[in-house]
């Protein structure tokens, strides 16, 4: 049996996609180490020019060892043809070909199978070895066209996974002992628009399945918080943390970025959700072209007003083929990095304040053990380190007494 190694770059959706490919392999053995493999499937990312070069140099390394390289993922669309022509890869497969991987790996001649950008896989991923929570990909693609983003061009327009298929998947995972479910996709807030449903309805149905204890949502766009979503905000099974992608807090930058959100409404929404007890995270890009010092100063002052607890920030990185790639004036890299640091520090302090003022008991799922301590996440998506005399890995624990340290919560748990 030939041995296959999967190398996954990029986002959570790619981790999920790799799992789908693994589940569709019949005649090959999946190995944990690249050195043991005759075939390496590279599930690539193309989100920035930097991501492309990372994938390219990884492939060069594998070629030197002589293993066969199959390119999958978003990079197959943007760079597949070039890499194929340069004979750097044996085969290129598009997103819709994931479920055909077994026969593609049998191919004796070099191939390019790009498939289409409209389909969605039917495979149900029913277990994640070694993980305590389960990821569910509920949709694929995006109908937005933010000016810096290549994703819609390589993953296609938004389409929702069949609701019954998702519910089946949750039932199986719940039977396998999973209690926490993380809903992912390219733009999950658009779920259901093509199916006369909505994210709110789907989440409600998932929550009714026996064994489902907590539901966590990936990134949602502020304009996607609709009435059906507001209906679930009081539900105990919804994680008390939401991640709403602002990307910026300057009206001018949102216009350049071709975003659909608006600073005034965003702030009102954040205040509303915060008053309901939610911890709030966001995505933010610093250094996009046009972000002058004046624009930045104003945006930073506005950001201070947002009740944020988590931030996923990026320095803008050029992606050829997007409108932003030709925009001027560009922002110097060191300035963009400093801005990133400033907002990360700001949100770090806000998170500390949030944890200090929260006098609730924490509902924690323990995910791993590191350096003798258990590591878990509470309902606000804050990390906690637990010193326990009992093995509590993958268990749910309720903790009332804990110490709020500057960077993380800490507890001693004795039974």
The DSSP 8-state label assigned to residue 136 in this structure reads E
- Region near ligand SF4 per CB under 6 A, out of 15-23, 36-44, 144-152, 386-394: 144-152
Site size for ligand SF4 (CB under 6 A): 9
329 prior amide bond cis, ω within 30? yes
Main-chain dihedrals φ then ψ at residue 360, nearest 5 degrees: -100, 160
Q: Report if residue 186 touches ligand SF4, rule: CB under 6 A.
A: yes
Q: Which is nearer to ligand SF4, 94 or 152 (CB)?
A: 152
218: its two tokens: 């990936």
Q: Which is nearer to ligand SF4, 7 or 288 (CB)?
A: 288
Q: In what order do the strands lie in the sheet with 214-217?
A: 133-137, 180-184, 214-217
Q: Which is nearer to ligand SF4, 141 or 179 (CB)?
A: 141
Q: Which is nearer to ligand SF4, 80 or 141 (CB)?
A: 141
**Virtual torsion, Cα 271, 272, 275, 280, nearest 10 deg:** -60
- The length of the chain, given as a count of residues: 415
Q: Residue 275, Cβ neighbours under 10 Å: how many?
A: 9
Asked whether 247 and 257 are in contact (CB, 8 A), the reply is yes
Q: Report if residue 187 touches ligand SF4, rule: CB under 6 A.
A: yes
- Region near ligand SF4 per CB under 6 A, out of 95-103, 138-146, 347-355, 403-411: 138-146
- Region near ligand SF4 per CB under 6 A, out of 26-34, 36-44, 141-149, 337-345: 141-149
Provide the minimum distance between the beta carbon of 145 and ligand SF4 in the complex, in angstroms, as a whole number: 6
- Region near ligand SF4 per CB under 6 A, out of 128-136, 142-150, 204-212, 381-389: 142-150
Q: Which is nearer to ligand SF4, 149 or 397 (CB)?
A: 149
Q: Which is nearer to ligand SF4, 131 or 318 (CB)?
A: 318
Q: Give the whole-angstrom CA distance, residue 157 versus residue 142.
A: 5
Q: What character string, x for contact with ligand SF4 (CB under 6 A) and - otherwise, covers 145-174? A: xx--x-xx----------------------
Provide the minimum distance between the beta carbon of 280 and ligand SF4 in the complex, in angstroms, as a whole number: 18
Asked whether 196 and 162 are in contact (CB, 8 A), the reply is no
Main-chain dihedrals φ then ψ at residue 125, nearest 5 degrees: -85, 115
Q: Report if residue 225 touches ligand SF4, rule: CB under 6 A.
A: no
Provide the minimum distance between the beta carbon of 380 and ligand SF4 in the complex, in angstroms, as a whole number: 24
Q: Which is nearer to ligand SF4, 8 or 324 (CB)?
A: 324
Q: Which is nearer to ligand SF4, 92 or 149 (CB)?
A: 149
25: its two tokens: 């392999």
Q: Report if residue 144 touches ligand SF4, rule: CB under 6 A.
A: yes
Provide the minimum distance between the beta carbon of 141 and ligand SF4 in the complex, in angstroms, as a whole number: 8
Please give the full DSSP string across 11-72, using - where no structure is assigned: SHHHHHHHHHHHHT--SEEE-S-GGG-SEEEEEE--SSHHHHHHHHHHHHHHHHHT-EEEEE
Element (H, E) at 167: helix 163-175
Interacting residues toward ligand SF4 by CB under 6 A: 142, 144-146, 149, 151-152, 186-187
């Amino acid at each position: 049996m030939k041995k296959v190694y999967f190398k996954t770059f990029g986002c959570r959706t790619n981790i999920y996609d790799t799992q789908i490919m693994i589940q569709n392999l019949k005649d090959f053995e999946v190995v944990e180490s690249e050195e043991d493999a005759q075939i390496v499937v590279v599930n690539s990312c193309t989100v920035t020019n930097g991501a492309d070069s990372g994938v390219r140099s990884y492939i060069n390394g594998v070629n030197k060892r002589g293993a066969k390289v199959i390119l999958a993922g978003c990079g197959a669309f943007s760079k597949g043809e070039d890499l194929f022509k340069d004979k750097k890869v044996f085969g290129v497969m598009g997103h819709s070909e994931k479920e055909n991987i077994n026969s593609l790996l049998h191919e004796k001649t070099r191939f390019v199978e790009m498939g289409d950008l409209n389909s969605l896989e039917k495979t149900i991923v029913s277990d994640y070895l070694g993980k305590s929570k389960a990821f569910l990909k509920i949709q694929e693609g995006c109908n937005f066209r933010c000016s810096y983003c290549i994703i819609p061009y390589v993953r296609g327009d938004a389409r929702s996974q069949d609701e019954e298929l998702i519910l089946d998947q949750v039932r199986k995972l719940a039977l396998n002992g999973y209690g926490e479910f993380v809903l992912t996709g390219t733009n999950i807030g658009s779920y259901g628009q093509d199916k006369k449903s909505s994210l709110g309805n789907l989440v409600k149905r998932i929550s009714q399945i026996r064994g489902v204890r907590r539901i966590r949502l990936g990134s949602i766009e502020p304009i996607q918080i609709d009435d059906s979503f507001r209906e679930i905000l009081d539900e105990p099974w919804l994680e008390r943390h939401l991640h709403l992608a602002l990307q910026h807090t300057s009206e001018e930058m949102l216009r350049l970025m071709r975003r659909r959100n608006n600073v005034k409404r965003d702030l009102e929404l954040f205040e509303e959700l915060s008053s309901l007890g939610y911890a709030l995270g966001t995505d933010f890009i610093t250094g996009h072209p046009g972000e002058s010092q004046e624009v930045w100063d104003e945006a930073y002052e506005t950001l201070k007003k947002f009740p944020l607890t988590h931030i996923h920030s990026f320095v803008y990185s050029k992606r050829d083929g997007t409108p932003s790639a030709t925009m001027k004036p560009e922002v110097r890299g060191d300035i963009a990095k400093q801005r990133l640091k400033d907002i990360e520090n700001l949100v770090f302090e806000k998170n500390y304040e949030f944890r200090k003022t929260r006098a609730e008991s924490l509902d924690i799922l323990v995910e791993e053990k590191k350096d003798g301590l258990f590591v878990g996440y509470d309902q606000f998506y804050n990390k906690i380190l637990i010193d326990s005399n009992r093995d509590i890995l993958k268990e749910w624990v309720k903790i009332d007494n804990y110490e709020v340290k500057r960077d993380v919560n800490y507890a001693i748990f004795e039974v």
